[in-house]
Structure 1
C-alpha cells in the first residue's frame, strides 16, 4: 500500500509541478497581456472586479498551482526525511505496542528515490540494536518493523531462547571475536500477556543498545520452522554481505528473520526513532462505537524509541 501511495504522490507532484511551471512562465503572463489589451481598448479604468476576472485562472489550472507547494513539501518530507507509520501488531512489545504511531528517520541509512527505491546518497547503515522499518523480503509491498540483531558477516545463534552473537572479523581486528551471549536481566512477569499466559519481561543488553524483550515461557522454541541456511545448524544464522538479521522484541510472537531469512540492504526504509502518538483500543463487542475508535491516549509512551 505504501508503494502505491508513493507512486500516486510522485505522479500528483509531477503533474501539478508541470502545471505550476506552465502557469508561472506562460499562462499567467498571457493573462497579464490580456488584461493590458483590455485596458487599452477601454476608455476608462477597468473595475477591480473585471481585472480580477481576467487574471483569474480556471479551476483546473488554479487548483494544481495552489496544491503544488504543499504536495511537493509532503513528498520531500515523506521520501527523504521522516515518514509516519502505525504499529499494527504486538511483535515489538514492549518497545512498541499496537496503537503506537511512530516516526521513521529516512535519511540515516541514505537517500533513495521514492518509487524505484534506488539509493543516490550514501549516509550511513544500521547499527546492531536499531529498530528499523523495511520492505518484507517475501512480499516487498508490506512494511515490517523489527530490531537489528545481526550485521553483515555476523554469526547469530538463538538457542533455548538465549541469543549469542559473533561479530564479523574486521581487517583491523588483531584477534577475531568469539560468540558472546547477550545478557538478559529479569524485570517482571505478567505485566504483558499473550491471551491467558503472562509473559516474562527481560532487559536485553545488546553490545551497543539496551532494550526490553518479552518471552513466553510456555512455548518451546520453534526451531524446526527456522530458516534453513546451508552450512549452519538450524538455530544458527550467518548474515550475508549486504543483509541484516532482525528479530521482534516479543520473541515468541514475531514472524521475523528466524523464519524467513535476511533483510537486503535495498529493502531498508529507515530507523524508527520516536513515538509521536499512542492510542488505546480497549473496546469490547458490546460497545456501541466500532473497535477502531480509540478509548484513550497513552501520553506516557510518547518520546524516543530505545
Structure 2
C-alpha cells in the first residue's frame, strides 16, 4: 500500500480526533474537573474544620488532573496529530527521504545511501495523485531524479536525466550522443565495484557543463538485450551498436551512471512527467561509510 496514502489517512483520522478533543472532549473534561472539585469542597464544608482534609489543595489538584487526563484512545490519536501533520507536509511538499536499493547509480550513489529528494524544484505536486499544482523549473540534463517506474508506479526509481522532450539520444558503441553532439568523456582511474568485486572503467561525463562519473565495461556488448514494449517505442531504433531514441513531449530519457548495470530507458522506455517525484540532491546517511554524507553531482 502506498505510504503517502497511509500517512494521509493517519492525518485525517488523528486530525478528526484532535478537533473533536479541542471542541468537545476538553470542555467535557473541564466541566467534570470543576464538578469534582466543587463536590470535594462541599464535602469538606459538611464535615467541618475538625475532620477536614489536611491536604485539601493536593487533593483538589489530583481530582482536577484525573478528570482532565485524556483517555488512552485520544492520547494515541489526537496527541500525535501535530507530529504526523508536520511529517506529511514536509514529506509531501519539501523533502522526502529515500534509500538507494541497487547499484544502478554507482559510482554517484551507492547501495545503502540514504538520500534527500527535493519535492518542490520541479513544481509542487499533490500527494497520492502526484498532480502538479505549481509549475516549478523544467528538468535539466544531468539532474538525478526519483520517479515512479512506468511499468509499476508503486515502485520508485532513481536515474539521471539524459534526454529532455525533443532530444535525439543515441547510445551507440558505449558512447552517448545528444542531438548529434557527442557527450565529452574523460578517463578516470578504474573504479573498484564492491558489489561485483572487480574493477570497472570509470569516466567523467560532461552533460551541458555538468560533470559526473560513470562506469563502463568494455567487455559488455553494446546492443540492448531484453528491451520491452512501451509507449512511444516507435521513437526508438535498436541495432547492434545500441539504441537511438527521440524523446516525446512530456517524457524524459533516463539512464543510470552504472551504464552496464542499469535497467533504464534503454530497456523500459521513457519516464513521463506525471511520474516525476523530485530531484535527489543530498546523502544524509550511509551506515557503512559516514564519509558518504554530503551533496553529489
Unpaired runs of at least 5, structure 1: 167-178, 281-297
User: Is structure 2 residue 250 aligned with structure 1 residue 259?
Assistant: no
Check the 8 A contact 1:198/1:216 in 2, yes or no: no
Check the 8 A contact 1:128/1:208 in 2, yes or no: no
Higher mean Cα deviation, 155-164 or 37-46?
37-46
Aligned pairs (5 A) from 1:205-220: 205-220=206-221
Distance 1:197 1:221 in 2: 20
For the pair shown, which has the larger CA radius of gyration, 1 or 2?
A: 2
Aligned counterpart, 1:145: 158
Aligned counterpart, 1:246: 254
TM-fit CA distance, 1:240:
0.9
Aligned pairs (5 A) from 1:81-100: 81-100=94-113
The verdict on how the C-alpha distance between 1:73 and 1:194 changes in structure 2, with shifts beyond 3 A counting, is closer
The verdict on how the C-alpha distance between 1:29 and 1:22 changes in structure 2, with shifts beyond 3 A counting, is same
Aligned pairs (5 A) from 1:122-161: 122-161=135-174
Aligned counterpart, 1:283: none
User: Is structure 2 residue 267 aligned with structure 1 residue 230?
Assistant: no
Aligned counterpart, 1:71: 84
The verdict on how the C-alpha distance between 1:273 and 1:190 changes in structure 2, with shifts beyond 3 A counting, is closer
- C-alpha root-mean-square deviation of aligned residues, in Å? 1.8
3-state SS of the aligned residue for 1:202? Answer: strand
Distance 1:72 1:158 in 2: 45
Please give the TM-score of this superposition, normalised by the length of structure 1: 0.85
TM-fit CA distance, 1:25:
1.5
TM-fit CA distance, 1:224:
5.2
The verdict on how the C-alpha distance between 1:195 and 1:56 changes in structure 2, with shifts beyond 3 A counting, is closer
Aligned pairs (5 A) from 1:193-212: 195=196, 197-212=198-213
Unpaired runs of at least 5, structure 2: 45-55
Distance 1:34 1:259 in 2: 67
Per-residue deviation, residues 84-128 of structure 1 (Å, max 9, x unmatched): 111111110100111111111111112222212212222223111
Q: Where has structure 1 moved over 6 Å in runs of 4 or more?
A: none
Per-residue deviation, residues 215-261 of structure 1 (Å, max 9, x unmatched): 01110113354467325532111111111110000001100001111
3-state SS of the aligned residue for 1:121? Answer: coil
The verdict on how the C-alpha distance between 1:190 and 1:60 changes in structure 2, with shifts beyond 3 A counting, is closer
Aligned counterpart, 2:133: 120
Question: How many residues are matched?
Answer: 275
Please give the TM-score of this superposition, normalised by the length of structure 2: 0.87
Distance 1:190 1:105 in 2: 29
The verdict on how the C-alpha distance between 1:194 and 1:16 changes in structure 2, with shifts beyond 3 A counting, is closer
TM-fit CA distance, 1:196:
5.9
